Every structure is written in structure tokens, then in C-alpha cells.
Amino acid sequence: MDLIQFIMTLIVIGVFLLHVAFVQYFERKALGHMQSRLGPMRVGWHGLLQPIADSVKLLFKEDIMPANADKPIFYLAPIIGVVAAITSLAVIPIWPGFSIANLNIGILFILALSSVGAYSIVLAGWASNSKYSFLGGLRSSAQVISYEIAMGLSLVGVMMLAGSANLTDIVNAQSKSWFILYQPVACLIFVLSALAETNRVPFDLTEAESELVAGYATEYSGFRWALFFMAEYAGMFVMSALGAVCFLGGWNGPDFGIFANVPKIIWFLLKVYGCIFTYFWLRATLPRYRYDQLMNLGWKIFIPLSLANIVVTGLVRVLWKG
């Protein structure tokens, strides 16, 4: 059984890395059609081989490093982000009875690793010995700390309803109805906080090209730059999967008619990729926030609203049981 689980783990990680490569293609095609363009069309049928061409180009591209950079940290920073994102996948239940590590504190494990991933950006900005990179790293640290608190608090109501921080238990608790029906405010806060956590539009302040060139990644090139890109898209998948598990019932789907015969993993993936498509949609629609707006939204609105949601959830549960 251990060997089977090991093989399944390798398969999941392999498919996950393939997803990271091709989700960039899907984003470019989605944005293209939303903006009346075609997106990638040259390499392969409708540009389907574009991710492979990009990967080969980045792999052989010249690796440039600033003369005064802190070399060990400069090398290590992009690896931290990728490893943190991939490790987060370990506790996500993909279908009934399967998760790489079925931890009782699955939610806390993912939140902890998302904090570790922030070090990737902060260290990259500091090690580059560049003012633009350093400012991008500082912005990221303030942004991630702000929205990580709100995101963690938004999941407290979910844990209260499920009576557990285990992600499998949370999915099983939604077998009859999804938690988004009971926690709509928490779901909205989670979605917006996840956007900020993964540095996506409209909260991509760490990569504000018009102000900071390319932010923390200004001095990176070639495959090391690609690792930051990979970490971002891997983080999108992890946050989308966490949202699907906590608010959309995970692998649970309609159990009547032809829907009852649909494999559980299909329902899970449909929800995850629906959340990822929302990332693309928002990028094509919304402008970037100013930094003061970003901070005000996190500290003055999301955190108080999350605390209020916890209090209301607790009162309702007490009154319901009473």
C-alpha cells in the first residue's frame, strides 16, 4: 500500500507540474479572447506547444547575476517559493480516500507554508542588492502579512462548522450542502485575500512594473526567473483547491441522475479550474489598486469583517444547538 501511495504521489506531482506549465497558456488564450485577440497561435495547433517552447527558451537563456548580490540567498530564494507551493499540495484531498498526507491540521499546514513562500520574495528582493528589487520585497512582506491574517480568519468559520481543521473532514461535512451557503462573507474574504496572497491582479503590487520595473524579480533571468513564475501559478492552484475544499464541497457533486455517475475527481477539478478561471477573468477586468487602498482594505475592512463573521457563526451555532 505504501508503494502504491508513493507511485500515486509521483503521478500527482507530475500532473501538477504539467498543470503549472500549461495554465499559463490557458491564461494567455483566455485573456486574448476576452480582449478580442487570439493569444498564442504559432507553436503547435493553436499555440498548444507554446509552454514547451517557453520552457526550452528559459532553460538555455543566459543566467545573469548582479556583481554584488548575496549569491547563496540569490540562488535559494526562487527554490523556496516552488517547494512551499508544491509541498502545500500534500494535504489537499483530491478524491475520497486519497491525500498525500492526511493531517489533522491541514488548513494550518497550508497557511504556514504560504508564509514560508513569502520569504522567497522577500529574500529575492534583499539578495539582489537592487533598490527596485528591495522595495518589491518590502511591499510583498507587508501585503502578505496583511492578507494572510484575513485569509486565516475567514477559514475559522469553516473549521467551526466542520468541527475540524482536517481537510478531508471538511469535505465530508459538506456532503449535503456546501459551506458557501453558510459562510458567503467568509468565502468572499478568502477569495480576495487569496488574490493578494498570490500577488494577482488587482493586488499585484509586488510586480508593479510601472513603479518598480519588475519588483523583486528585476535582477533575475532565465530559469531562476521561471521558478518565480512557477511558484505563482502553483500557488494559484493550491489556493483554488483550498477554496474548493473549504467552501464548494471539494469532490462532492450532485448525486442524482447522470451526475451521480460522474467521478469524484472530475467535480473537484471542475471547481478548482473554475476558481482559476476567475483569476484570469479578474486580471482581464480590474485595474491595479494603489498601495494605500490595498492596506486599508486588508486592515480596516477584511480583518474586522472576518472577526465579526467568527462571532456571528459562534452565536448561531450556540443558539442552534440550544
Q: Give the global pTM.
A: 0.92
Using the predicted structure, report yes or no on whether residue 142 has a pLDDT greater than 60: yes
Q: Does the pLDDT of residue 4 top 80, yes or no?
A: no
pLDDT in tens, 149-166: 999 999 999 999 999 999
pLDDT digits (tens, 9 = 90+) for 27-72: 999 999 999 999 999 999 999 999 999 999 988 888 888 888 899 9
At 257 the pLDDT is: 76
Residue 204 has pLDDT above 90, yes or no: no
C-alpha cell at 18: 504539467
Instruction: Supply the pLDDT for residue 241.
Output: 95
| Each residue's pLDDT tens digit, 223-268 | 898 898 888 899 999 999 999 999 999 999 888 878 888 899 999 9
- Other CB atoms within 10 Å distance of the CB of residue 36: 6
User: Is the distance from CB of 221 to CB of 57 less than 8 angstroms?
Assistant: no
Least confident range from 98-107, 134-143, 189-198, 204-213: namely 204-213
Please say if the pLDDT value at position 1 is more than 60: no
Radius of gyration (C-alpha) of the chain in whole angstroms: 20
Give the whole-angstrom CA distance, residue 261 versus residue 14: 27
How many Cβ atoms from other residues are within 10 Å of residue 219's Cβ? 22
Q: What is the pLDDT of residue 209?
A: 53
- pLDDT score of 72: 92
Domain boundaries, the chain: 67-321
Q: State the Cα–Cα distance between residues 127 and 131, nearest whole angstrom.
A: 11
Residue 185 phi/psi, 5° resolution? -65, -45
Range 114-137 average pLDDT: 87
What contacts 298, CB < 8 A, 6 or more positions away?
143, 146, 147, 149, 150, 193, 196
Query: Is the confidence at residue 19, as pLDDT, over 90?
Result: no
